[in-house]
Amino acid sequence: MKICVIGMGYVGLVSAACFADLGNNVWCVDKNNKKINLLNNNHIPFFEPGLEELVNKNYLSGRLKFTTNLNLAVTNSDVLFICVDTPKLKKSRSADLRHVFDVAKEVSKYIDKFKIIVTKSTVPITTGDKIEELILRKKRKKLFEVVSNPEFLREGEAIRDFRFPDRVVVGSNNKKVTKKLESLYDPIIKKGAEFFSTNRRGAELIKYAANAFLATKISYINELANLCEKTGVNIEDVAIAMGLDKRIGSRFLRAGPAFGGSCFPKDTRAITVTGDLFKTDLSIIKSVIKSNEKRRILLNERVKKILSNKIKNKKIAFLGVTFKPNTDDMRQSSSLVMIPFLLKKGAIINYYDPSGKKKEFAKHRNLVFCSNVYDACENVDLAIIHTEWEEFKALDFRKLYKKKKFKIYDMRNLYSVEFMKKKGFDYYSIGR
């Protein structure tokens, strides 16, 4: 098929590369010139395991083309995927749909024959209706169909998730168009993905409903971890035994820091706005948002307690600052709240993250990026394991101590309490 993917971020570039790898011809568009130049010179603008190889392979085969020229890409494609960002508006809980509507307006200028316009970006219910209205200002209804096809991939696992998703959801009010998309996804469906079709608004809601539910699971286990810390119960035991119940399932039941990332914080907020708009109080999701906000403060308080209420001039190592491993994405990571708080209280912080130095921390004083765990932990009073990168799972703490013994706050429960105690480490974790 002839495809155009608009927005070369985590979702757009991965989708484009995977579609091309399935044999489709894919035009990739971004308004960011620098990004397109990088891609045309074999550089991937962000870190996602396996993506560089996949992009290069399909670029060399000629199936993947990068451009800022939307006209060229639209004219040469039958199916257009909108994959631009839909962040939270600065002063409200709502999703900022500016980029989606900009694309719709631009695309409407170039539609010359029938096009399927697919929204892969996460957008609130009725966005598809609004895209349709915008395009109708320029083009007749016969020339296009607007479809919702939300994306469920996870950063860090994006290629695997795209190729082997649990389900592909397509929301369209047109059966012929649904069939066309089903045939595009056929190789993926044949490998075991469930194809689920519904109407357009249904697909828009499914994405938010899924994300809000996963966020709820995380907040639920995080709150139980707080109770475990006060009652001498091990949260891991509770989570494992709960997860063994097939009605519950074990995934997303891992206690840790507040959830972050580019999706859960903004999507939980956006769905409550939709609820309010349709006079439906989504009170469970609203309390998940509150619980997660509280957690950011609570874990800082815990750090303070571990340091015997004296943060001033204490040296702290942050191991991992991204919101999850195998990504360089810093959006809404809890480290963005924790590090500035500790700096403000007078801490001196070293941080190390396998995905490199972060521009988000460039302006802070008393905050240094180290290029490895050993340098980060030199002479510190406390090491905080913030992100569960593989390389933090088997650290040799005795070697890390070098000159000075430090406390360890493992916010991902990577080590067993018994083992760490037996070794004589001053070890703290979550809910245990």
Ligand X SMILES: NC(=O)c1ccc[n+]([C@@H]2O[C@H](COP(=O)([O-])OP(=O)(O)OC[C@H]3O[C@@H](n4cnc5c(N)ncnc54)[C@H](O)[C@@H]3O)[C@@H](O)[C@H]2O)c1
Q: Does 92 bind ligand X (CB under 6 A)?
A: no
Q: By C-beta, is 321 or 367 nearer to ligand X?
A: 321
Which residue in 201, 197, 198, 178 sits closest to 124, CA to CA? 201
Segment 140 to 159, residues that bind ligand X, using CB under 6 A: 151, 153-155
Q: For tokens 């130095």, what's the residue?
A: 357
Q: How far is the CB of 60 from ligand X (least distance, A)?
A: 22
Q: Does 322 bind ligand X (CB under 6 A)?
A: no
What tokens does 311 get? 């943060």
Q: Does 165 bind ligand X (CB under 6 A)?
A: no
The sign one gets for the Cα dihedral 195, 198, 200, 201 is negative
CA separation for the pair 279, 160 (Å, rounded): 39
Q: Which of the ranges 4-12, 130-138, 352-360, 393-401 carries the binding residues for ligand X, by CB under 6 A? A: 4-12
Number of residues that bind ligand X (CB under 6 A): 27
CA separation for the pair 185, 172 (Å, rounded): 15
Q: Does 29 bind ligand X (CB under 6 A)?
A: yes
Q: Are the beta carbons of 336 and 258 closer than 8 angstroms?
A: no
CA separation for the pair 50, 43 (Å, rounded): 13
Q: Does 30 bind ligand X (CB under 6 A)?
A: yes
CA distances (Å), origin 371, targets 321, 353, 355, 376, 377: 13, 8, 10, 8, 11
What tokens does 432 get? 């245990």
Q: By C-beta, is 83 or 338 nearer to ligand X?
A: 83
CA separation for the pair 27, 147 (Å, rounded): 19
Q: Does 326 bind ligand X (CB under 6 A)?
A: no
Q: Out of 28, 228, 263, 370, pick the active-site residue.
A: 263
Q: By C-beta, is 334 or 350 nearer to ligand X?
A: 334
Q: Does 117 bind ligand X (CB under 6 A)?
A: no
CA separation for the pair 389, 354 (Å, rounded): 8
Q: Does 8 bind ligand X (CB under 6 A)?
A: yes
Task: Write the secondary structure of 274-289 as one string of H (helix), E (strand) and C (coil).
Answer: HHHHCCCCCHHHHHHH
Q: Which of the ranges 29-37, 268-276, 315-323, 352-360 carries the binding residues for ligand X, by CB under 6 A? A: 29-37
Q: Does 353 bind ligand X (CB under 6 A)?
A: no
Q: Does 99 bind ligand X (CB under 6 A)?
A: yes
Q: How far is the CB of 100 from ligand X (least distance, A)?
A: 8
Q: Does 40 bind ligand X (CB under 6 A)?
A: no
Q: Does 318 bind ligand X (CB under 6 A)?
A: no
Q: By C-beta, is 87 or 275 nearer to ligand X?
A: 87
Q: Does 32 bind ligand X (CB under 6 A)?
A: yes
Q: For tokens 């913030």, what's the residue?
A: 386
Q: By C-beta, is 318 or 323 nearer to ligand X?
A: 323
CA separation for the pair 333, 390 (Å, rounded): 18
Q: DSSP state, 396?
A: -
Would residue 263 show up in a list of annotated catalytic residues for this protein?
yes
The two beta strands, 194-198 and 348-352, are unpaired
Q: Does 9 bind ligand X (CB under 6 A)?
A: yes
Which positions are annotated as active-site residues?
263
* Contacts to ligand X by CB under 6 A: 6-12, 29-32, 35, 83-86, 99, 102-103, 121-122, 151, 153-155, 262-263
